[in-house]
Amino acid sequence: MAGKKKEPPCPPLALWLVTFSDLVTLLLTFFVLILTMSSMDNAILTRVTLQTADLGLLDKRGSGRVEVKERLIVDLMEKPWEVINKKQRIKDLLFPDDDLPEELSKAELDRNLEVLARPDGVALVFSDQLLFGPGESRLSPQGQRLMDALIPLLMYISAPVNVAGHTDVTDAGIDPYALSADRALAVLDFLVDSGVPPRRLSLSAYGGDVPALDERGRPAASAMNRRVEVLLKTARPVGGYQ
C-alpha cells in the first residue's frame, strides 16, 4: 500500500507574513488608542492641588493650568523669613506698571507699600494714603484698584488672611481704635464682595498701639503708622489648614 503523500512544507520566505500581520494589528490598535485619546474633551475641568513644605495647600480650579503670576508670587513667599530679599519682585508682580492707577506713580507705591516677613506668613502693608482719604474709612477708588489686584492671589491660595488696621495717636479728634477697625473692615468687606471666602478672613484693630518701626528699630514716620496690613498666613502650622 502506497504511503500517504506528504504535503510540501510552507515556503520559508512566506513565514515573515505571520510576523508582519501581528505588527500591523499592533499598529492599528495603537492608532485607534491615539484617536480615542485625541477626541477627549479638553475642556473638562480638573483640580490641581500643590503643596510645599512651608506654604500649605494651594488650590486652583481651571483647565489643568496654574496662573503663572500667582505661582511666581507663591514661590517667592514659600520662605517668609527670606522675603526681605524678594519684596521688590513681589511688588512688581502684584502691581505691574501697566495696571497702576493713572494718578499713582511706581515710586509713590514703593514708598507707601511694604512687604514684611511675619512669624506666621507675609504681610502686605499699605499706608493709609494709598487706600483712604484723610481721616476717612471708605476705600477710595485707588484703594479699590489696589485691593482688586490682590484678589487673584487670595483666590489662588487657601491660607487664612488677617486684615489689621493701624492709626496714629496724633490724629486729632479721631478715635484711633474706631478708625483702625473701620478701615480694616472696609478692606475685609471689599475682599468678601470680590469672592474671598469669609471663613478665611479675620480682622484686627490696634489703633496706635503698634507703631511701624524703621530700620533701626525706632518708630517710623506717621505715614506708615497709619496703615492696613493684609497678612497672608503662609507659614503652615502643625496639622495644616483645613
Q: What is 24-93 written as a DSSP string? A: HHHHHHHHHHHHHHHTS-TT--EEEEEEETTTEEEEEEESS---HHHHHHHHHTSSGGGGGGTHHHHHHH
Q: Which three cell numbers stand for residue 14?
A: 512566506
Residue with cell 502684584: 94
- Cβ contacts of 219 within 8 Å, gap of 6 or more: 211, 212, 213, 225
Q: Per-residue DSSP letters for 143-195?
A: HHHHHHTTHHHHHHB-S-EEEEEE--TT-TTS-HHHHHHHHHHHHHHHHHHTT
Phi, psi of 219 (to 5 degrees): -55, 135
Return the pLDDT at 8: 58
Phi, psi of 117 (to 5 degrees): -85, 135
Return the pLDDT at 188: 96
- On whether the pTM is more than 0.75, the answer is no
Q: Is 97 helix (H, G, I), strand (E, B) or coil?
A: helix
Return the pLDDT at 190: 96
Predicted confidence (pLDDT) per residue in 178-224, tens digit: 999 999 999 999 999 999 999 999 999 999 888 876 545 455 566 77
Residue with cell 486652583: 60
Return the pLDDT at 193: 96
Q: What is the rounded CA–CA span in Å between residue 8 and residue 2? A: 18
Return the pLDDT at 41: 44
* Domain annotation for the chain: domains and CATH numbers: 46-232 (3.30.1330.60)
Task: Indicate the residue type of 240.
Answer: G
Return the pLDDT at 178: 92
Return the pLDDT at 242: 43
**Burial class, 56, CB count within 10 angstroms (exposed 0-12 / middle 13-18 / buried 19+):** buried
| Segments in the chain below pLDDT 50 | 39-66, 215, 217, 238-242
Give the Å distances, CA to CA, from 213 to 18, 98, 218, 229: 84, 31, 5, 14
- Cβ contacts of 164 within 8 Å, gap of 6 or more: 184, 203, 204, 205, 206, 228, 229, 231
**Burial class, 202, CB count within 10 angstroms (exposed 0-12 / middle 13-18 / buried 19+):** middle
